[in-house]
Amino acid sequence: MRFLHTADIHLDSPLTGLSAANDLPLDRLRESTRQALANLVDYALAEAVDFIVIAGDLYDGTWHDFTTGLYFVRQMARLDQAGIPAYVVLGNHDAENRLTRKLTLPGNVHVFPAERAETVFLPDRSVALHGRSFPTAAVGDNLVLAYPPAAPGCFNIGLLHTAAGGREAHANYAPCALSDLLAKGYDYWALGHVHAREVLHEHPHIVFPGNLQGRHIRETGTKSFTAVRVENGRVVAADPVAADVVRWLRCPVDLANAADLDDAVDAIGAALLKASDQAEGRLAVVRLVLEGTSPAHAHFAAQRERLMAECHAAAARVSSQLWIEKVEVRTRPIFEQTATAARADAIGALIRSVDALARDDEARAALSRELNELVSRLPDELKGRWWKGGVETLGGGSRSPSIDESSLGTVIAAARNLLAVRILDAEGEA
């Protein structure tokens, strides 16, 4: 017996944090969740699997219009024509009370109810599937406790949308412990909600497949469903199968050896080539992270616009399938702080005064107020370039910038370093 386990498809999820200013292929990105679902169905048909299970968040919320539901119906109809059923639980994003639009589904699709856990038997395959949908978006109860015990003589599968005790960046919905899941005696737990693939346990298998398609830079790397093979009532394989059509990647570039902007461009091109390989022929959307203590740091600050343009140009040279989502500059200047601060001239006095500022609580508080007041008065188009925690983001952003006490020390140090390098560069050129 073979079946596919997927979750967190977020069909037609809206794009966030992207700008047409970067010339990103927005239409292809908008279609990516649909194409990922089509890839899943294509695989199911090609491999003639017995059934598929969807463990919540099929949709991102109620549909903007009926085309979202219609696309799902058409994909499920393809499975129906091949005799492949699909079993679905609703999660926090597509909870029963959130879907204000509905369409009649093909007969091969079974959606588990929200008011109680239900068991569906597949007698010809000796399979029992147990599941319960979310009635509302924020489910705080441990739903596992009310799931039925394993059905004797069957291969038991539990479908559950859960944080399973809590996962970073995921609300702790339907919380449960690993021991709760094991206590049911099921042979496979098909979980959803967590967007990174994770195998919590083997024999019995308890699996988060991750989401089917990454939708932003926090969902990087390969996105997949899980193909499960069962022999003699035992899982013998539970392997990820890539379904994504767009791959989001963070691309660090060490510029410690870059003497100038031209050297940096060479290093950026080499890093982007590796990122293109990681995308395996897919559209790659990359966040470049330029880092390292670099002699070229001052060049980046002085030629910011060229740096951004060079990054996009490097991507275009590598592949027509490679796009830059954003550039983060995390490089630091080279200078020997102790030796510079010990100088008897005005440069040493300046560095010592900045260091003294960093140790003066009253001065730090006043500086923080002044900086935040200054930032609040900037035009919106300039608020996308600001220092926080020593990281400068290029390319804009929608966040309201602020500098809190925890990041002020880093900001002061970054300003000191930049100021020192500028002065020392000018001194060297004189």
Cα gap 328→268, rounded to integer Å = 12
The model carries a pTM of 0.79
Query: Two tokens at 416?
Result: 């000191």
Mean pLDDT of the chain: 87
Q: How confident is the model at residue 394 (pLDDT cuts 50, 70, 90)?
A: very low
Average the pLDDT over each of 242-246, 280-284, 412-416 and give the range with the smallest value.
Answer: 412-416
Paired strand residues for 156: 128
Of 379, 368, 377, 349, whose CA–CA distance to 412 is shortest?
368
Cα gap 47→312, rounded to integer Å = 40
**Residue ranges of the alpha helices (H) in 303-345?**
304-318, 337-341
More confident position, 415 or 28: 28
Domains of the chain by range and CATH? 2-244 (3.60.21.10), 247-429 (no CATH)
Of 423, 300, 291, whose CA–CA distance to 351 is shortest?
423
Cα gap 239→4, rounded to integer Å = 10
Give, for 54, the enclosing helix (H) or strand (E): strand 51-55
pLDDT value at position 379?
73
pLDDT value at position 397?
41
Exposure string for 98-114, b = 16+ CB within 10 A, e = fewer: bbeeeeebbebbbbbeb
Task: Give mean pLDDT, residues 7-26.
Answer: 79
pLDDT value at position 277?
96
pLDDT tens digit sequence for 336-381? 667 777 888 877 888 888 888 878 888 888 888 888 888 777 776 5
Check if the beta carbon of residue 206 is closer than 8 Å to that of residue 187: no
User: Is the pLDDT confidence value at 272 over 70?
Assistant: yes
More confident position, 311 or 356: 311
Q: How far apart are the first and last CA of the chain?
A: 77
Q: How confident is the model at residue 395 (pLDDT cuts 50, 70, 90)?
A: very low
User: Is the pLDDT confidence value at 52 over 80?
Assistant: yes
Average the pLDDT over each of 96-105, 258-267, 268-277 and give the range with the smallest value.
Answer: 96-105
pLDDT tens digit sequence for 141-165? 999 999 999 999 999 999 999 998 7
**Which single residue is written with the structure tokens 């022999």?**
231
**Residue ranges of the alpha helices (H) in 82-197?**
178-183
pLDDT value at position 421?
62
**DSSP reduced 3-state for 165:** coil
Of 176, 157, 181, whose CA–CA distance to 88 is shortest?
157
Cα gap 207→190, rounded to integer Å = 6
Query: Two tokens at 46?
Result: 């090609």
pLDDT value at position 346?
78
pLDDT value at position 152?
97
Task: Give mean pLDDT, residues 179-203.
Answer: 97
Cα gap 355→351, rounded to integer Å = 6
Task: Give mean pLDDT, residues 263-268.
Answer: 96
